[in-house]
Structure 1
Protein backbone atom coordinates (compact mmCIF):
# COMPACT_ATOMS: atom_id res chain seq x y z
CA UNK A 1 0.00 0.00 0.00
CA UNK A 2 1.29 3.45 -0.94
CA UNK A 3 1.31 6.64 1.11
CA UNK A 4 -0.83 8.39 -1.50
CA UNK A 5 -3.62 5.91 -0.76
CA UNK A 6 -3.91 6.88 2.92
CA UNK A 7 -2.64 10.47 3.17
CA UNK A 8 -4.93 13.39 3.94
CA UNK A 9 -4.67 15.97 1.16
CA UNK A 10 -6.69 18.60 3.02
CA UNK A 11 -3.76 19.85 5.09
CA UNK A 12 -4.08 22.67 7.60
CA UNK A 13 -0.97 24.86 7.22
CA UNK A 14 0.42 28.16 8.42
CA UNK A 15 2.95 30.71 7.24
CA UNK A 16 6.13 31.14 9.34
CA UNK A 17 4.89 34.65 10.06
CA UNK A 18 1.60 33.47 11.57
CA UNK A 19 1.20 33.97 15.30
CA UNK A 20 1.29 31.31 17.99
CA UNK A 21 -2.29 32.34 18.79
CA UNK A 22 -3.34 31.39 15.24
CA UNK A 23 -1.71 27.99 15.60
CA UNK A 24 -3.44 27.42 18.93
CA UNK A 25 -6.79 28.31 17.36
CA UNK A 26 -6.32 25.91 14.43
CA UNK A 27 -5.12 23.04 16.64
CA UNK A 28 -8.20 23.36 18.82
CA UNK A 29 -10.68 24.01 16.02
CA UNK A 30 -9.62 21.07 13.84
CA UNK A 31 -8.56 18.78 16.69
CA UNK A 32 -5.18 18.11 15.14
CA UNK A 33 -1.76 17.69 16.72
CA UNK A 34 0.61 19.08 14.08
CA UNK A 35 0.63 21.94 11.58
CA UNK A 36 3.13 22.04 8.71
CA UNK A 37 4.65 25.46 8.19
CA UNK A 38 5.02 26.42 4.53
CA UNK A 39 6.47 29.37 2.64
CA UNK A 40 4.99 31.19 -0.35
CA UNK A 41 6.18 28.44 -2.71
CA UNK A 42 4.36 25.73 -0.71
CA UNK A 43 7.69 24.34 0.52
CA UNK A 44 7.71 22.82 3.99
CA UNK A 45 10.02 24.96 6.13
CA UNK A 46 8.97 23.70 9.53
CA UNK A 47 6.35 21.94 11.62
CA UNK A 48 4.73 22.84 14.91
CA UNK A 49 3.06 20.47 17.36
CA UNK A 50 0.39 21.00 19.97
CA UNK A 51 3.12 20.45 22.57
CA UNK A 52 5.25 23.23 21.04
CA UNK A 53 2.31 25.62 21.23
CA UNK A 54 1.34 24.50 24.72
CA UNK A 55 4.89 24.98 26.01
CA UNK A 56 5.07 28.45 24.47
CA UNK A 57 1.67 29.55 25.81
CA UNK A 58 1.23 31.27 29.17
CA UNK A 59 -0.34 29.18 31.90
CA UNK A 60 -4.07 29.72 32.39
CA UNK A 61 -3.40 29.52 36.12
CA UNK A 62 -1.01 32.46 36.06
CA UNK A 63 -3.02 35.66 36.03
CA UNK A 64 0.12 37.73 35.63
CA UNK A 65 1.37 35.81 32.61
CA UNK A 66 2.24 37.87 29.56
CA UNK A 67 -0.45 37.09 26.97
CA UNK A 68 1.54 38.98 24.33
CA UNK A 69 3.72 35.90 23.89
CA UNK A 70 0.88 34.42 21.82
CA UNK A 71 1.50 37.13 19.24
CA UNK A 72 5.03 35.89 18.56
CA UNK A 73 5.56 34.38 15.13
CA UNK A 74 5.22 30.62 14.85
CA UNK A 75 8.67 30.38 13.29
CA UNK A 76 10.14 31.18 16.71
CA UNK A 77 8.99 27.81 18.06
CA UNK A 78 8.65 25.56 15.00
CA UNK A 79 10.91 22.57 14.28
CA UNK A 80 12.95 23.39 11.20
CA UNK A 81 14.45 19.97 10.42
CA UNK A 82 11.33 18.23 9.11
CA UNK A 83 11.21 14.56 8.16
CA UNK A 84 8.97 14.10 5.12
CA UNK A 85 7.82 11.17 2.98
CA UNK A 86 6.86 10.76 -0.68
CA UNK A 87 3.41 9.75 -1.99
CA UNK A 88 4.92 6.65 -3.61
CA UNK A 89 6.63 5.43 -0.44
CA UNK A 90 5.26 2.19 0.98
CA UNK A 91 3.13 2.58 4.11
CA UNK A 92 4.85 -0.43 5.65
CA UNK A 93 8.20 1.36 5.32
CA UNK A 94 7.16 4.70 6.77
CA UNK A 95 5.66 2.86 9.74
CA UNK A 96 9.27 2.37 10.82
CA UNK A 97 9.75 6.16 10.80
CA UNK A 98 6.76 6.60 13.10
CA UNK A 99 8.15 3.95 15.44
CA UNK A 100 11.81 5.00 15.45
CA UNK A 101 11.22 8.75 15.64
CA UNK A 102 8.04 8.57 17.77
CA UNK A 103 6.24 10.88 15.36
CA UNK A 104 2.51 11.58 15.44
CA UNK A 105 2.40 12.82 11.84
CA UNK A 106 4.61 13.22 8.77
CA UNK A 107 4.16 15.70 5.89
CA UNK A 108 4.02 14.23 2.38
CA UNK A 109 6.11 16.08 -0.20
CA UNK A 110 6.39 15.67 -3.98
CA UNK A 111 8.63 17.88 -6.15
CA UNK A 112 9.33 19.97 -3.03
CA UNK A 113 5.60 20.73 -2.73
CA UNK A 114 3.45 19.79 0.24
CA UNK A 115 0.75 17.44 -1.06
CA UNK A 116 -0.54 15.74 2.08
CA UNK A 117 0.03 14.52 5.61
CA UNK A 118 -0.05 11.10 7.29
CA UNK A 119 -0.97 10.77 10.96
CA UNK A 120 -0.82 8.08 13.62
CA UNK A 121 -4.55 7.57 13.18
CA UNK A 122 -4.06 6.99 9.44
CA UNK A 123 -1.39 4.40 10.19
CA UNK A 124 -3.55 2.55 12.72
CA UNK A 125 -6.51 2.50 10.34
CA UNK A 126 -4.26 1.13 7.60
CA UNK A 127 -3.07 -1.61 9.98
CA UNK A 128 -6.70 -2.56 10.55
CA UNK A 129 -7.24 -2.74 6.79
CA UNK A 130 -4.09 -4.79 6.16
CA UNK A 131 -4.90 -7.31 8.89
CA UNK A 132 -8.56 -7.60 7.88
CA UNK A 133 -9.85 -7.07 11.41
CA UNK A 134 -12.52 -4.72 10.06
CA UNK A 135 -14.24 -7.76 8.51
CA UNK A 136 -16.07 -10.24 10.69
CA UNK A 137 -14.27 -13.56 10.65
CA UNK A 138 -12.01 -16.00 12.48
CA UNK A 139 -8.27 -16.10 13.06
CA UNK A 140 -6.05 -19.16 12.70
CA UNK A 141 -2.33 -19.22 13.49
CA UNK A 142 -0.15 -22.03 12.16
CA UNK A 143 3.49 -22.77 13.00
CA UNK A 144 5.43 -23.87 9.92
CA UNK A 145 9.08 -24.46 8.98
CA UNK A 146 10.74 -21.40 7.51
CA UNK A 147 11.21 -22.89 4.04
CA UNK A 148 9.90 -21.94 0.57
CA UNK A 149 6.43 -23.08 -0.45
CA UNK A 150 4.76 -23.29 2.96
CA UNK A 151 2.14 -20.61 2.34
CA UNK A 152 0.61 -22.29 -0.77
CA UNK A 153 0.70 -25.67 0.99
CA UNK A 154 -1.29 -24.38 3.94
CA UNK A 155 -3.66 -22.20 1.91
CA UNK A 156 -4.55 -25.17 -0.30
CA UNK A 157 -6.48 -26.60 2.66
CA UNK A 158 -8.55 -23.43 2.85
CA UNK A 159 -9.13 -23.59 -0.90
CA UNK A 160 -10.51 -27.12 -0.71
CA UNK A 161 -13.31 -25.79 1.47
CA UNK A 162 -13.87 -22.67 -0.66
CA UNK A 163 -13.03 -20.60 2.40
CA UNK A 164 -12.33 -16.93 1.73
CA UNK A 165 -9.01 -15.72 3.18
CA UNK A 166 -9.26 -12.07 4.22
CA UNK A 167 -5.60 -11.59 5.08
CA UNK A 168 -2.35 -13.50 5.55
CA UNK A 169 0.45 -12.31 7.85
CA UNK A 170 3.82 -13.90 8.57
CA UNK A 171 5.31 -13.50 12.05
CA UNK A 172 8.61 -14.72 13.51
CA UNK A 173 8.41 -17.62 15.95
CA UNK A 174 10.02 -15.94 18.95
CA UNK A 175 13.80 -16.00 18.31
CA UNK A 176 13.83 -19.27 16.37
CA UNK A 177 14.78 -18.57 12.71
CA UNK A 178 13.77 -22.10 11.66
CA UNK A 179 10.04 -21.46 12.02
CA UNK A 180 7.43 -18.85 11.15
CA UNK A 181 3.85 -18.25 12.22
CA UNK A 182 1.29 -17.91 9.44
CA UNK A 183 -1.69 -15.88 10.59
CA UNK A 184 -4.84 -16.32 8.53
CA UNK A 185 -8.00 -14.29 8.93
CA UNK A 186 -10.82 -16.19 7.22
CA UNK A 187 -14.36 -15.09 6.44
CA UNK A 188 -16.25 -17.68 8.44
CA UNK A 189 -17.59 -17.95 11.96
CA UNK A 190 -17.07 -21.73 11.97
CA UNK A 191 -13.40 -22.49 11.22
CA UNK A 192 -13.51 -25.87 12.99
CA UNK A 193 -13.54 -28.05 9.82
CA UNK A 194 -10.39 -26.47 8.37
CA UNK A 195 -8.77 -26.42 11.80
CA UNK A 196 -9.30 -30.16 12.03
CA UNK A 197 -7.84 -30.66 8.55
CA UNK A 198 -4.77 -28.62 9.50
CA UNK A 199 -4.23 -30.81 12.55
CA UNK A 200 -4.68 -33.98 10.52
CA UNK A 201 -2.13 -32.69 8.01
CA UNK A 202 0.39 -32.44 10.85
CA UNK A 203 0.44 -28.67 11.30
CA UNK A 204 0.89 -27.21 14.77
CA UNK A 205 -1.76 -24.62 15.58
CA UNK A 206 -0.75 -21.73 17.81
CA UNK A 207 -4.32 -20.47 17.77
CA UNK A 208 -7.02 -21.48 18.63
CA UNK A 209 -4.91 -23.69 20.90
CA UNK A 210 -1.44 -25.12 21.55
CA UNK A 211 0.01 -21.75 22.55
CA UNK A 212 3.53 -22.44 23.89
CA UNK A 213 5.29 -20.56 26.64
CA UNK A 214 8.03 -18.17 25.42
CA UNK A 215 11.55 -19.53 25.53
CA UNK A 216 13.59 -18.33 28.51
Structure 2
Protein backbone atom coordinates (compact mmCIF):
# COMPACT_ATOMS: atom_id res chain seq x y z
CA UNK A 1 0.00 0.00 0.00
CA UNK A 2 1.21 3.49 -0.86
CA UNK A 3 0.76 6.89 0.78
CA UNK A 4 -1.34 7.94 -2.22
CA UNK A 5 -3.89 5.25 -1.24
CA UNK A 6 -4.26 6.82 2.19
CA UNK A 7 -4.59 10.33 0.78
CA UNK A 8 -7.19 9.06 -1.66
CA UNK A 9 -9.27 7.73 1.22
CA UNK A 10 -8.83 10.56 3.74
CA UNK A 11 -8.44 13.51 1.39
CA UNK A 12 -5.55 15.84 0.77
CA UNK A 13 -6.69 18.86 2.77
CA UNK A 14 -3.93 20.20 4.99
CA UNK A 15 -4.50 22.68 7.79
CA UNK A 16 -1.58 25.08 8.00
CA UNK A 17 -0.54 28.17 9.91
CA UNK A 18 1.96 30.92 9.14
CA UNK A 19 5.27 31.10 11.02
CA UNK A 20 4.50 34.59 12.34
CA UNK A 21 1.09 33.68 13.81
CA UNK A 22 1.00 33.62 17.61
CA UNK A 23 1.16 30.25 19.34
CA UNK A 24 -2.22 31.14 20.89
CA UNK A 25 -3.74 31.02 17.35
CA UNK A 26 -2.03 27.68 16.77
CA UNK A 27 -3.59 26.23 19.92
CA UNK A 28 -7.03 27.43 18.78
CA UNK A 29 -6.45 25.89 15.34
CA UNK A 30 -5.39 22.55 16.81
CA UNK A 31 -8.47 22.52 19.00
CA UNK A 32 -10.91 23.65 16.29
CA UNK A 33 -9.78 20.92 13.88
CA UNK A 34 -9.01 18.27 16.54
CA UNK A 35 -5.45 17.91 15.27
CA UNK A 36 -2.20 16.80 16.83
CA UNK A 37 0.03 18.79 14.46
CA UNK A 38 -0.12 21.53 11.85
CA UNK A 39 2.16 22.29 8.92
CA UNK A 40 3.79 25.72 9.13
CA UNK A 41 3.53 27.43 5.75
CA UNK A 42 3.13 30.94 4.39
CA UNK A 43 1.22 29.82 1.30
CA UNK A 44 -0.16 26.33 1.99
CA UNK A 45 2.16 24.77 -0.62
CA UNK A 46 5.68 25.22 0.76
CA UNK A 47 6.76 23.83 4.12
CA UNK A 48 8.55 26.05 6.61
CA UNK A 49 8.12 23.58 9.47
CA UNK A 50 5.71 21.50 11.48
CA UNK A 51 4.41 22.08 14.97
CA UNK A 52 2.64 19.67 17.29
CA UNK A 53 0.74 19.78 20.53
CA UNK A 54 3.80 18.23 22.14
CA UNK A 55 5.97 21.13 20.94
CA UNK A 56 3.60 23.62 22.57
CA UNK A 57 3.33 21.68 25.84
CA UNK A 58 7.11 21.49 26.19
CA UNK A 59 7.37 25.26 25.80
CA UNK A 60 4.46 25.92 28.18
CA UNK A 61 6.49 24.26 30.92
CA UNK A 62 8.66 27.41 30.84
CA UNK A 63 5.68 29.75 31.15
CA UNK A 64 2.46 30.83 29.46
CA UNK A 65 4.18 33.76 27.72
CA UNK A 66 4.99 31.32 24.90
CA UNK A 67 1.36 31.75 23.77
CA UNK A 68 2.21 35.24 22.56
CA UNK A 69 5.37 34.14 20.73
CA UNK A 70 5.36 33.39 16.99
CA UNK A 71 4.79 29.81 15.87
CA UNK A 72 8.33 29.75 14.42
CA UNK A 73 9.64 29.81 18.00
CA UNK A 74 8.12 26.38 18.78
CA UNK A 75 8.04 24.67 15.37
CA UNK A 76 10.42 22.03 14.08
CA UNK A 77 12.14 23.28 10.94
CA UNK A 78 13.70 19.88 10.19
CA UNK A 79 10.66 18.23 8.61
CA UNK A 80 10.79 14.75 7.18
CA UNK A 81 8.69 14.60 4.02
CA UNK A 82 7.03 11.71 2.25
CA UNK A 83 5.83 11.36 -1.32
CA UNK A 84 2.59 9.80 -2.55
CA UNK A 85 4.69 6.97 -4.03
CA UNK A 86 6.28 5.95 -0.71
CA UNK A 87 5.12 2.72 0.87
CA UNK A 88 3.17 2.86 4.10
CA UNK A 89 5.71 0.51 5.68
CA UNK A 90 8.68 2.77 4.84
CA UNK A 91 6.94 5.86 6.22
CA UNK A 92 5.99 3.95 9.39
CA UNK A 93 9.63 2.93 9.82
CA UNK A 94 10.77 6.53 9.39
CA UNK A 95 8.18 7.78 11.88
CA UNK A 96 9.37 5.21 14.41
CA UNK A 97 13.06 6.03 13.87
CA UNK A 98 12.55 9.79 14.01
CA UNK A 99 9.91 9.61 16.77
CA UNK A 100 7.39 11.71 14.85
CA UNK A 101 3.66 11.21 14.50
CA UNK A 102 2.91 13.36 11.44
CA UNK A 103 4.61 13.54 8.05
CA UNK A 104 3.73 16.02 5.30
CA UNK A 105 3.39 14.58 1.82
CA UNK A 106 4.96 16.48 -1.09
CA UNK A 107 4.92 16.11 -4.87
CA UNK A 108 7.92 16.06 -7.23
CA UNK A 109 8.26 19.86 -6.94
CA UNK A 110 8.31 19.62 -3.10
CA UNK A 111 4.81 21.18 -2.89
CA UNK A 112 2.58 20.14 -0.04
CA UNK A 113 -0.13 17.72 -1.22
CA UNK A 114 -1.24 16.13 2.06
CA UNK A 115 -0.27 14.94 5.50
CA UNK A 116 -0.39 11.53 7.15
CA UNK A 117 -0.41 10.65 10.82
CA UNK A 118 0.72 7.47 12.51
CA UNK A 119 -2.98 6.81 13.13
CA UNK A 120 -3.70 6.99 9.40
CA UNK A 121 -0.92 4.49 8.70
CA UNK A 122 -1.95 2.07 11.44
CA UNK A 123 -5.56 2.22 10.25
CA UNK A 124 -4.47 1.39 6.70
CA UNK A 125 -2.37 -1.54 7.92
CA UNK A 126 -5.29 -2.90 9.93
CA UNK A 127 -7.59 -2.61 6.90
CA UNK A 128 -5.05 -4.40 4.74
CA UNK A 129 -4.68 -7.22 7.28
CA UNK A 130 -8.46 -7.56 7.60
CA UNK A 131 -8.77 -7.79 3.81
CA UNK A 132 -6.08 -10.49 3.67
CA UNK A 133 -7.78 -12.40 6.49
CA UNK A 134 -11.12 -12.25 4.68
CA UNK A 135 -9.48 -13.47 1.47
CA UNK A 136 -7.82 -16.38 3.29
CA UNK A 137 -11.06 -17.30 5.05
CA UNK A 138 -12.86 -17.26 1.71
CA UNK A 139 -10.16 -19.41 0.13
CA UNK A 140 -10.20 -21.93 2.99
CA UNK A 141 -14.02 -22.05 2.98
CA UNK A 142 -14.10 -22.47 -0.80
CA UNK A 143 -11.36 -25.09 -0.86
CA UNK A 144 -13.05 -27.09 1.87
CA UNK A 145 -16.38 -27.10 0.02
CA UNK A 146 -14.83 -28.69 -3.08
CA UNK A 147 -13.36 -31.66 -1.19
CA UNK A 148 -16.52 -32.85 0.56
Indicate the TM-score class for this superposition, using the shorter chain for normalisation.
Answer: 0.7 to 0.9
Q: Which runs of 4+ in 1 moved over 4 A?
A: none
| Structure 2: stretches of 5+ with no match in the other structure | none
Provide TM-score, normalisation by structure 1: 0.57
Provide TM-score, normalisation by structure 2: 0.81
Q: State the Cα deviation string for residues 43-79 of structure 1 (Å, max 9, x = none).
A: 11111010111222368xxxxx6x5431110001110
Q: Which residue of 2 aligns with 1:186?
A: 137
Of 24, 29, 42, the match for 1:26: 29
How many residue pairs get aligned? The number is 140
Q: Which residue of 2 aligns with 1:2?
A: 2
Greater RCO (CA < 8 Å, at least 6 residues apart): 2
What are the residue-to-residue correspondences of 1:163-178 with 2, within 5 Å?
166=135
Q: Which residue of 2 aligns with 1:47?
A: 50
Q: What's the offset of the Cα at 1:41?
A: 7.0
Q: What's the offset of the Cα at 1:33?
A: 0.8
Q: State the Cα deviation string for residues 108-142 of structure 1 (Å, max 9, x = none).
A: 01112111001111111111121126x9xxx6xxx
Q: Could you say which structure has the higher strand fraction?
A: 1
Q: Which residue of 2 aligns with 1:172?
A: none
Q: Which residue of 1 aligns with 2:66?
A: 69
Q: Which residue of 2 aligns with 1:98?
A: 95
1:86·1:109 contact (CA, 8 Å) conserved in 2? yes
1:46·1:82 contact (CA, 8 Å) conserved in 2? yes
Q: State the Cα deviation string for residues 66-106 of structure 1 (Å, max 9, x = none).
A: x5431110001110110000111122221211222222110
| Structure 1: stretches of 5+ with no match in the other structure | 60-64, 140-164, 167-184, 198-216
Cα separation, 1, equivalents of 2:110 and 2:49: 13
Q: Which residue of 1 aligns with 2:40?
A: 37
Q: Could you say which structure has the higher helix fraction?
A: 2
What RMSD in Å do the two structures reach over aligned CA positions?
2.5
Cα separation, 1, equivalents of 2:25 and 2:84: 28
Bigger Rg over Cα: 1
